[in-house]
Amino acid sequence: MVKEAQLLKLADKLGGIFWAQEKLLAVAESCTGGLLAAILTEIPGSSLWFDRGFVTYSNQAKSEMLGVDPNLIAEYGAVSSETALAMVAGAIRQSRADYAVAITGIAGPGGGTDHKPVGTVYIAWQARHAQGYWELQHFTGDRHSVRMQTVNRALEYLVAQLVGKSAQ
């Protein structure tokens, strides 16, 4: 079970890396509903490295705020790698951020299907002027647990990527 203290520790570490590298972060969230942005802004001084967050819970919001093509959502679904990549690209485009993360999924308890059960989450990351990357996760547990695991994974990935870049 992911605890808030664990998320705050990761967010603090991430903030230190972003601050040291003088980089900015933006997030685009659907199923986490702003939880990632909330964890990031719990860190004192986060305004120095956290640019903005987009909570795009509806498909219309994804299109209006991030420029996700409604036809892409119609073809692949809001919970898909294609939508996650379009969301993260939109977060970069609509911000001053050097890096962005996007999250779309099914936190439950309803909304799942045989093809995309509850706990299905796509997380995408992108650096400005670079190709986006995504991964598919199948988290277990209740709605709160799925959301906490999603935020944890997003933070872990960013920390791992940026620690690698700072060591180069």
Of 37-41, 107-111, 161-165, give the lowest mean pLDDT range: 161-165
Residue 14: the pLDDT is 97
- Whether residue 93 is contained in a domain is answered as yes
- Residue showing tokens 């791992």: 160
Burial 29-61 (b: 16+ CB within 10 A, else e): bbbbeebbbebbeebeebeebbbbbbbbeebee
pLDDT digits (tens, 9 = 90+) for 18-62: 999 999 999 999 999 999 999 999 999 999 999 999 999 999 999
- Whether residue 166 is contained in a domain is answered as no
Containing domain of residue 123, as a range? Answer: 4-157
Of 84-88, 95-99, 161-165, give the lowest mean pLDDT range: 161-165
Task: Please give the structure tokens belonging to residue 72.
Answer: 């892409």
Residue 64 DSSP code: H
Exposed (0-12), middle (13-18) or buried (19+): which is 145, by Cβ within 10 Å? middle
> Which three-class secondary structure string do you get for 76-90?
HCCCCHHHHHHHHHH
- Whether residue 85 is contained in a domain is answered as yes
Residue 100 pLDDT > 70 = yes
Residue 168: the pLDDT is 39
- Whether residue 124 is contained in a domain is answered as yes
Cα–Cα distance, 154 to 168 (Å, whole number): 22
Mean pLDDT for the chain? Answer: 96
- Whether residue 83 is contained in a domain is answered as yes
Provide the number of structural domains found in the chain: 1
- Whether residue 92 is contained in a domain is answered as yes
Please check whether residue 8 is in contact with residue 43, taking contact to mean a CB–CB distance below 8 angstroms. Answer: yes
CATH number for position 125 = 3.90.950.20
- Whether residue 16 is contained in a domain is answered as yes
pLDDT digits (tens, 9 = 90+) for 112-134: 999 999 999 999 999 999 999 99
Residue 65 pLDDT > 50 = yes
pLDDT digits (tens, 9 = 90+) for 138-153: 999 999 999 999 999 9
- Whether residue 32 is contained in a domain is answered as yes
